[in-house]
Amino acid sequence: MHKSKLNPILISILMSPVFAFNSMAQVDTETTVAEKKSKGLERILVTAQKRTQNINEVPISISTMNSDAISQTGVRQLKDVAEFIPNLVISDGTDFTSEVRIRGVGANSRNIGFDTRVGVYLDGVYLGQSPALNQELLDLERIEVLRGPQGTLFGKNTVAGAINLISKEPSDTLEGHIGAELGNLNAKQLTASLNLPISDKLAAKFSFNKQTRDGFVTNLATGNDNINEQDATSYRAQVRYDMSESFKANLSIDGMQSDRTSYTGEPITDTFGRELTSESPKLFEISSTSDPVEERDINGIALTLDWSLDNGHDVRSITAFRDSEISYSNDSDYSALDLLHIGYNDAYEQTSQEFQYISPANSKLEYVAGLYLYSQDSETSRTVFASPISAQIFGTDPSNPTRNHGDVETTTVALFVSGDYELSEHLKLGFGVRLSTEDKKVDWETIGTGSGAFGIATGSVIDKRTDNHIAPTVSLNYALNDDLNTYIKYGNGYKSGGYNLDFIDTSTLEGGIGYDKETVDNFEIGVKGSALDKNLSFSFAAFHAKYSDYQVSQFIDLGEGQTSISIRNAAEVETNGLEAEITYLLTDELTLNFAAGLLDTEFVSFPGGGAGGSDASGNQLPKAPEASFNLGLQYYYPIDVFGADLLARLDYSYSDSYYTDVNNINIQLLASGDSVRFGSVPSNSLLNARLGLISHNDDWTVSLWARNLTDEVYLTNNNRDFFGTLVNYYGTPRTFGIELEYKF
């Protein structure tokens, strides 16, 4: 039984700094102020509660990165952000199965019937399923990572948290930038933006990014040494119309196209996981009869309307449409033998409408109330092609490919209100509730008559389901002084029920492929504030979350060469943890950033969830490192001879080891009698660096950068593929380059 390590000490660890920082914050003598040369850290404003608020007054564990931090840390895609945020893990493999985990909880929506647990939003619009998540971070104002369930304001599929991407809006200033980057692995990147005032009421902004990079994995069978390349084009066009002082409209169109050879891991066994493979013994080598390829085409349009009413209230409308298409193909036996080849084609179309009614700021009662409407039409078509060799070995029929296809229609309606009431000068009561109803209709068919020994089911499913949910939240926020806030909070959320629309066996189909919604109750306490004349900012949080009917997606080894994909509800999961973030302006030139997360996760009750139907109760959740932290140092120094400032930055990140499936194993015994290290990922640490010159008037920048500076070889994941192959995934080796930027 896995015992919780955090509960007995949770409160004491968290609260011990509170009193120390409280004392520090109250040191306000004339001498201290006079001696302080720095202006202190800037105040951070966020819209995590759909109202503009000081981050220290929001009772949520939030991490933010503004546009400067995005540039200075060198993050390019959403998955890069995880190195700098505590208790955040984002998968580094195929974009088809992008997986975001917060506080040990997450999921990839590998089929259209299964939703994610972390909602990702662009300017208030839900991006949707896993294939649409890992996008280029194009011309953003900031990133907000909200840890813990956000069911009241964001609704379904935010049981672990939410990520807000806020883009830079058009302004009334003629300005722009152009940037170019060259790096190893033949990396090239071109970025550009133009802000164009058209009149005193109309402005437009255009942003563009083109990124290419060679791969670092070689396919010995095809001779392609460009596996895991990058080739993506992103754009955003915005038009803002200020009709009057009380009305503003913003129209945004964005898109991303990506076509690349993907990274599907490196096999360590043959098909069915029986023997160690010797076809590609070196690191970053595979031997497959075809290269893994994925294409993504993601487009969206959103219209945001803002009215300021005479009574001081604001009304906001967000109307959006998004379309995501992905195709993916791979040699699913991972061998030089021409046995099996898969081809997936998924498509998502979604329309959303949100109305918000926002109270005046700085009132005794502040709130936002709203109506949310959402519809999504998802389609899938997936095929397994078998060769004549496969027919001889497995009894498959090459003339009758195994396939499934169908669609899911989802409709969601929700009413919500969230706000806070000032009980006294120092004490605020936070409150909120969301009433949601969701309908899903499925029409799906699986055809496995030619699957031979793999035993894929044949049949069809026409069904519908409805999930109703009430998600309340309540909090108390107490300001000890102007610089120190504490809070205690309860929140609730849910993840939609759905359908297991994947390659499944007959018994799974006959037993029913539907599964119920999961729910979470989260309890959190925290403290946020600043000290030392605002040169030190800090945030601490402790949480306990209890999940009921937790949905688990996993490969099930049925024996005799048969594998099935199972999605079912585990009885109960609990997570506990701590988070800390500190920014310290040591001098006018030197800044330190520190963030850490501690995590304890457990399947409290999961009978039959382990290998061979064993009891998985007491096991840890997959991909949930018990500890992670990052440390950053940034140094500015003026070099007047160049008319510029020197910027030097180092970032160190560490992740503890973790298991990769519910069985919590480190060694896998093969049928051949061999054993292989499998089922877990060792701890790893990464070092990134940046050295640059920034002109005094900020119109040009030249930077040298490196990621994974020490060229660490590290695992990020391993899993059993559908047909039994055991596969390892490795992180990106050292990359480096030069970046030039000119602003006007």
- DSSP secondary structure string for all residues of 225-246: EEET-EEEEEEEEEEEEEEETT
Q: Which amino acid, residue 693?
A: L
Among 180, 285, 187, 288, smallest CA distance to 230 is for: 187
Q: Read off the tokens for 294.
A: 């994925």
> 525 vs 34, which has greater pLDDT?
525
Q: Residue 454: helix, strand or coil by DSSP?
A: helix
Mean pLDDT of 415-422: 96
Q: What is the Cα–Cα distance from 18 to 3, expressed in whole angstroms?
A: 28
Bridge partners, residue 631, by sequence: 594, 652
The count of structural domains within the chain is: 1
- Indicate the average pLDDT of the chain: 90
Among 686, 689, 685, smallest CA distance to 650 is for: 689
Is 128 inside any structural domain?
no
pLDDT band at 14 (very low <50, low <70, confident <90, very high): very low
Q: Residue 80: helix, strand or coil by DSSP?
A: helix
pLDDT band at 42 (very low <50, low <70, confident <90, very high): confident
Q: What is the Cα–Cα distance from 286 to 335, expressed in whole angstroms?
A: 8
Is 158 inside any structural domain?
no
> 134 vs 174, which has greater pLDDT?
174
Is 248 inside any structural domain?
yes
pLDDT score at 234: 97
Contact 231, 259 (CB under 8 A): yes
Q: What is the Cα–Cα distance from 73 to 70, expressed in whole angstroms?
A: 6
Is 615 inside any structural domain?
yes
pLDDT score at 558: 61
Q: How many CB atoms lie within 10 A of CB 241?
A: 17
Q: Which helix (H) or strand (E) holds 543?
A: strand 536-559
Q: Read off the tokens for 636.
A: 């500015």
Mean pLDDT of 516-536: 95
pLDDT score at 7: 45
Bridge partners, residue 598, by sequence: 578, 627
Whether 45 shows a pLDDT value over 50: the answer reads yes
- Percent of the chain clearing pLDDT 70 (strictly above): 93
Contacts of residue 281, Cβ cutoff 8 Å, sequence gap at least 6 = none
Mean pLDDT of 264-290: 84
Is 110 inside any structural domain?
no
pLDDT score at 560: 57
Q: How far is CA 226 from the centre of its chain?
A: 26
Longest CA–CA span in the chain (Å) reads 87
Is 538 inside any structural domain?
yes
Q: In b/e form, how buried is each residue of 57-94, taking b as 16+ CB within 10 angstroms?
A: ebbbbbbbbbeebbbbbbbbbbbbbbbbbbbbbbbbbb
Alpha helices (H) along 61-138: 67-73
Q: What is the pLDDT of residues 387-410, one digit of tens each?
A: 999 999 889 999 999 999 999 999
Q: What is the pLDDT of residues 407-418, one digit of tens each?
A: 999 999 999 999
Among 2, 102, 3, 18, smallest CA distance to 487 is for: 18
- DSSP secondary structure string for all residues of 336-379: SS--EEEEEEEEEEEEEEEEEEEPPTTSSEEEEEEEEEEEEEEE
Q: Residue 117: helix, strand or coil by DSSP?
A: coil
**What is the CATH classification number for the domain harbouring 198?**
2.40.170.20
Pair type for strands 118-122 and 161-167: parallel
Q: What is the pLDDT of residues 140-190, one digit of tens each?
A: 999 999 999 998 888 778 999 999 999 999 999 999 999 999 999 999 999
Is 525 inside any structural domain?
yes
Q: Residue 160: helix, strand or coil by DSSP?
A: coil
Mean pLDDT of 425-432: 96
pLDDT score at 425: 93
Tell me the chain's radius of gyration from C-alpha atoms: 26
Residue with tokens 């929001």: 58
Q: How many CB atoms lie within 10 A of CB 148?
A: 31
Among 519, 684, 552, 655, smallest CA distance to 87 is for: 655
Among 568, 515, 570, smallest CA distance to 546 is for: 570
Is 142 inside any structural domain?
no
Q: What is the pLDDT of residues 585-644, one digit of tens each?
A: 999 999 999 999 999 999 999 998 887 788 999 999 999 999 999 999 999 999 999 899
Q: What is the pLDDT of residues 692-713, one digit of tens each?
A: 999 999 999 999 999 999 999 9
Mean pLDDT of 102-120: 89
Percent of residues in the chain assigned helix, strand, coil, to nearest 5: 10, 60, 35
Q: Which letter does DSSP use for residue 334 in this model?
A: -
Domain that holds residue 690: 7-34+176-743
pLDDT band at 275 (very low <50, low <70, confident <90, very high): confident
Whether 2 shows a pLDDT value over 60: the answer reads no
Q: What is the Cα–Cα distance from 51 to 42, expressed in whole angstroms?
A: 19
pTM: 0.91
Q: Which has the minimum average pLDDT: 56-65, 126-135, 232-241, 321-330?
A: 126-135
Q: What is the pLDDT of residues 361-389, one digit of tens each?
A: 889 999 999 999 999 999 999 999 999 99
pLDDT score at 243: 95
Q: In b/e form, how buried is each residue of 359-378, taking b as 16+ CB within 10 angstroms?
A: beeeeeebbbebebebebbb
Whether 571 shows a pLDDT value over 90: the answer reads no
